[in-house]
Amino acid sequence: MQLPKSRAEIRATQSRLKRAAVEQARRSSFWQKRLPTINLEKLEDEWRRIPILEKDSLRALTDEQFYTEFCIGGHDGISEYWRSGGVTGRPLFYPRSFRDIEFGLESFARTYDCAGAGRGERAHVSFPMGIHPVGQVFSRCAASRGITVNWAGSGASTPSALQLELIQSLKPTVWLGMSSYALHLANLAEARGIDLSTFSVKKILTSAEPVSQAKRDKIERSWGAKLTDTFGMTEAGMMGAEDQPGLGFRIWSDMYFVEVLDPKTFEPVKEGEVGTLVVTALCTNNVTPFLRWSSGDLVTYSEAEDGAGPFSVFPRVKHAHRTTGFFKVRGVNLGHQDLEDFIFRHQEIGDFRAEAINEGGLDALRLSIEIRKGIDPQALAATLIRETKEKFELQPEIVVLETGTLAREFEANIKAARFVDRR
């Protein structure tokens, strides 16, 4: 599937595929009850009459209702199932037809292109290889780009120490995994006296977790590689990737039609304003007609038509990171993203865990940190206490851990339990 050459080509593709998406939805008994009468000849004018599909609508369905009422029959056959993130309170397994998978593989493969990874390179994939599709699809689609793959999986399937050995011996040029796991491998390497930045990896692809500038800097410094973040959702597929660090994701708008709307009124917001992301799958809808799906992501939208490279034909979406968690400690709302960004700006710190605790009837913040060799732990702890109090108006308890402690504790986890409320 070739990249579109112009925005005009994308608009023509969207016009054709949006009509097909509505026709697909009309085959679903779920949508038959919800869709108003729409004049397909004037679909652009009538598009916003289509009701928003929210998570509560799926929560109300039993498994049987989802598969018999929401899903569409009469397709080209079920190829596999993609596990959802559990938006219904429990994970669903979305059927994907053989035609869906063709587009699904292409949408993932484009992220390699965006990162500049191509034929002759080697990829070490540390995403989980279980029932969630991300690791398997990243591995499978690499063949279409001539990229060799080691299906390592997460630390649960291939211990982190062995992953480091494989990276050292097989010399991949690309590493793929959660950003938190990239940090864990770097910390484990340091604990073993290994300098990852001297290894062969020069490109890193991450997904599924927020990547702040401080976290990006730390990963790139530790690995000696450029990080490219990617964005997708199981309901649609891999939707885009960064082409320039930190500016947001180029969205494959020839495969996914995105809208950024006011969260309360569902009216379109202006370019650059924060709104809720609404997605229509234009190609991977042969069984599951996700039409105007409200993902819950708060983002900004930019046309970003700067002509810089083949991916400039696509618009950009950037997360506002307003939905990330927080602790409330002694009346202070402490955002997880803000705290992570603050701590990772201290280059003396290798890794950390933040815990909200209650000892003696008072809430408190405990920061467990691992520090780099040659750093005075008492001096660093005193500095961190002072700066945390200045920035967040909280005086934390500091615990200095042996390097590698947190990596061992996080070993079996897909995502790091970096923030824990123990009250």
């018999």: which residue's tokens?
A: 68
When pLDDT is averaged across residues 230-257 and rounded to a whole number, the result is: 95
- Write the CB contacts of 31 (distance below 8 Å, at least 6 apart in sequence): 25, 70, 289, 291
Q: 68-78, pLDDT tens digit by residue?
A: 999 999 899 99
Closest CA to 378 of 394, 400, 360, 393: 400
What does 255-316 look like in DSSP terms, one character per residue? Answer: TEEEEEE-TTT-PBPPTTS-EEEEEEESSS-SSS---SEEEEEEEEEE------SGGGGS-E
Going by pLDDT thresholds of 50, 70 and 90, the confidence category of residue 87 is: very low
Identify the pLDDT of residue 412. Answer: 54
* Burial label, 336 (beta-carbon count in 10 A; 0-12, 13-18, 19+): middle
Write out the H or E segment, with its range, that includes residue 326.
Answer: strand 326-329
Could you tell me which residue, 34 or 421, shows the higher pLDDT?
A: 34
């108003």: which residue's tokens?
A: 36
Going by pLDDT thresholds of 50, 70 and 90, the confidence category of residue 88 is: very low
Q: Where are the beta strands (DSSP E) in 72-176?
A: 78-83, 93-97, 122-125, 148-151, 174-176
Whether the CB-CB separation of 322 and 298 falls below 8 Å is answered with yes
> At what angle are helices 377-392 and 336-344 packed, to 10 degrees?
140
- Write the CB contacts of 99 (distance below 8 Å, at least 6 apart in sequence): 75, 76, 286
When pLDDT is averaged across residues 73-96 and rounded to a whole number, the result is: 81
- Where is average pLDDT lowest: 9-13, 67-71, 393-397? 393-397
Q: 164-176, pLDDT tens digit by residue?
A: 999 999 999 999 9
Cα(195)–Cα(193) distance, rounded to whole angstroms? 7
- Write the CB contacts of 295 (distance below 8 Å, at least 6 apart in sequence): 233, 235, 276, 277, 278, 279
Identify the pLDDT of residue 293. Answer: 96
* Burial label, 214 (beta-carbon count in 10 A; 0-12, 13-18, 19+): middle
When pLDDT is averaged across residues 150-162 and rounded to a whole number, the result is: 91
pLDDT score of 277 more than 50: yes
Cα(191)–Cα(205) distance, rounded to whole angstroms? 24
What does 159-181 look like in DSSP terms, one character per residue? Answer: -HHHHHHHHHHH--SEEES-HHH
What is the pTM (predicted TM-score) of this model? 0.86
- Write the CB contacts of 343 (distance below 8 Å, at least 6 apart in sequence): 214, 349, 352, 367, 369, 384
Residue 148: phi, psi to the nearest 5?
-75, 145
Q: 325-343, pLDDT tens digit by residue?
A: 777 787 787 888 889 889 9
Identify the pLDDT of residue 323. Answer: 47
Identify the pLDDT of residue 208. Answer: 83
Per-position b or e across 180-198, b if 16+ CB within 10 A of its CB: bbbbbbbbbbbbeebebee
When pLDDT is averaged across residues 239-243 and rounded to a whole number, the result is: 97
Cα(218)–Cα(197) distance, rounded to whole angstroms? 11
Identify the pLDDT of residue 130. Answer: 81
Q: 137-148, pLDDT tens digit by residue?
A: 999 999 999 999
Q: 357-379, pLDDT tens digit by residue?
A: 987 677 889 999 999 888 999 99
When pLDDT is averaged across residues 191-195 and rounded to a whole number, the result is: 90
